Amino acid sequence: MGSVAYTEPVVLCVSSAHPLVKRDSISYEDLADETVLTGAAPDYWREALIPAHTSSGRPIPQGPTAVDGTRLLAIVAGGEAVCPVHAHAPRYYGRPDIAHILIHDAPPAAGP
C-alpha cells in the first residue's frame, strides 16, 4: 500500500427502517446478529472492514454479494443485509432510505 491520504471511522450502512438506527453506535459484536453484505472488493479490503468473527468468537454471518455500489445500496435499503463502509460514504452515496451508524470498536479505515 502506498501513502495514506486519510483515516476515518467505519460506519455500518443499514436500511433507515432497521432497528439499529435508534442507536448512536454499535460494536462488531452486534454484527453477529446481522447478515453482512459481501462483495467484489479485494480480500484484504473486505477483511479489514468485515471480520469473520467478533472479538468474542461469534461468527459474523455473510449474506448477499454486491459487485457495485448501486447493488450494495439496493440490498441494504431493502433490509436484506447491512454493510460496514468508510465514514465518507454517506457524503457520496447518501439516500433517505439508508442510515449510517458508527462502529465504535472498528479500527480506523485508511485510504490512499
CA distances 1 to 40, 72, 88, 112, Å, are: 19, 25, 20, 8
The answer to whether the CB of 103 falls within 8 A of the CB of 11 is: yes
pLDDT bucket at 109, cuts 50 / 70 / 90:
confident
Which has the higher per-residue pLDDT, 78 or 47? 78
Structure confidence by residue, pLDDT tens digits, 2-61:
688 889 999 999 999 999 999 999 999 999 999 999 876 677 777 788 889 999 999 999
pLDDT at residue 3, as a whole number: 83
- The predicted model scores a pTM of 0.90
Cell of 106: 472498528
The answer to whether the CB of 36 falls within 8 A of the CB of 46 is: no
What is the C-alpha separation between 75 and 46, in angstroms, rounded? 17
**What are the residues whose beta carbons fall under 8 Å from the beta carbon of 10, sequence distance 6 or more?**
49, 84, 85, 86, 87, 102, 103, 106, 107, 108, 109
What is the C-alpha separation between 77 and 21, in angstroms, rounded? 13
pLDDT at residue 48, as a whole number: 80
pLDDT at residue 99, as a whole number: 97
